[in-house]
Amino acid sequence: MSILFSSLQLKHIHLKNRLVVSPMCQYSAINGFANNWHLVHLGQFATGGAAAVIQEATAVSPEGRISASDLGIWKDEHIEKLKEITTFIKENDAVPGIQLAHAGRKASAGKPWVDHHQIAPDEENGWQSLAPSAIAFNPERENAPIAMSLEEIQKTVFSFQQATKRAINAGYEIIEIHAAHGYLIHQFLSPLSNNRIDEYGGSFENRARFLYEIVQAIKKELTTQSLWVRISATDWADGGWDLEQSIKLAKELKKLDVEVIDVSSGGAVYHQKIKVEKDYQLPFAAAIKKEVEIITATVGLIREADHAEEILKDGKSDIIMIARAFLKNPHLPFHFAEQLADNIKWPSQYERAK
């Protein structure tokens, strides 16, 4: 048996293998409500053999959406369809997860296949974005966000807590906090997007305070759920968030009972310079795993079974998160298992295709 198809036991959650579907925005919701597109999209990965399926960035408030077509979980009415999705995922031997998010200054955008630019607050499907500081992501094209008041910060922390309560009622077993890719929490972490002079800006401890408060609020709702945090390990820009700060952050998150650090990178600033190539993000996950001794997930351009197996064999990460390759092939685990000469269980309905 390969390491890729060996199981991983977390405190309360059992992953049947190390392949997890990474969150992928679908821009297909109406007023935050999930629909049959999301049911089929997410459900296919469960029938395809993934150990866990993490739902796309799901907004904790209306203004926290990236676009007007994002999924939301800011009201109880959203729960019904989400519960249908999690039930199907669990019925097919996979663990349902949800990524809770707030887009901050990257909110109020169009669908990427139409026009992903930021929509002005007075235009259709647009609204005023919020951020730690009134700094636009792309000053040449976008309106500046409004710097959040202390009251708005605490209101957002509470929104994450309430969203967690709804997520648990909907049946999610993994709760992932989206603190990466230049969205609101990452905006607080990075000194390139946070120039506050109060207790939420300046020092590392102050810039991390918002995330710590969200983690502590979410923990009040957890029973047997596994808490993950996705981070961008570096801003890929001078003077920004970097690996050293990520390691320091991960150590503190471990103390707060975060179980998995999902390691990505970038997205904080428009002028970032990323050389996208094989394993360009892997060293970050490996360093955090080594220095913090916490379970890490790695993501980015992992398309082959032997590549995923090599990462695990070398001890550079514990979980392989895949997005685009799953879109191309929702039954990717079956093919990976075949390539690694592993025999894994197929749904009875699909066995004739083996």
Over residues 290-332, the pLDDT tens digits come to 999 999 999 999 999 999 999 999 999 999 999 999 999 999 9
Catalytic residues: 183
Residues of the domain holding 174 = 8-353
Confidence (pLDDT) at 238: 96
Q: What are residue 246's phi and psi, to 5 degrees?
A: -65, -40
Position 245 in a domain: yes
Position 163 in a domain: yes
User: At 303, which CATH number?
Assistant: 3.20.20.70
State which amino acid sits at residue 327: L
| Pairwise CA distance, residues 164 & 284, whole Å | 28
Position 3 in a domain: no
Rounding to the nearest 10 degrees, give the CA dihedral for residues 98, 297, 24, 241. Answer: 100
Task: Please state the domain count of the chain.
Answer: 1
| Pairwise CA distance, residues 131 & 152, whole Å | 10
Position 165 in a domain: yes
CA angle 244, 316, 305 (to 5 degrees): 140
Position 179 in a domain: yes
State which amino acid sits at residue 323: A
**Which residues are CB-contacts of 151 (< 8 A; sequence separation ≥ 6)?**
none
Angle between helix 305-313 and 332-339 (nearest 10): 70
Q: Which residues of the chain have pLDDT under 50?
A: none
**Which residues are CB-contacts of 115 (< 8 A; sequence separation ≥ 6)?**
none
Q: What are residue 264's phi and psi, to 5 degrees?
A: -120, -160
Quick: pLDDT tens for 207-221: 999 999 999 999 999
Report residue 67 CA to chain centroid gap: 16
Confidence (pLDDT) at 112: 92
Q: What are residue 231's phi and psi, to 5 degrees?
A: -125, 155
Confidence (pLDDT) at 47: 97
Confidence (pLDDT) at 116: 76
The per-residue pLDDT of the chain, averaged, comes to 97
Position 2 in a domain: no
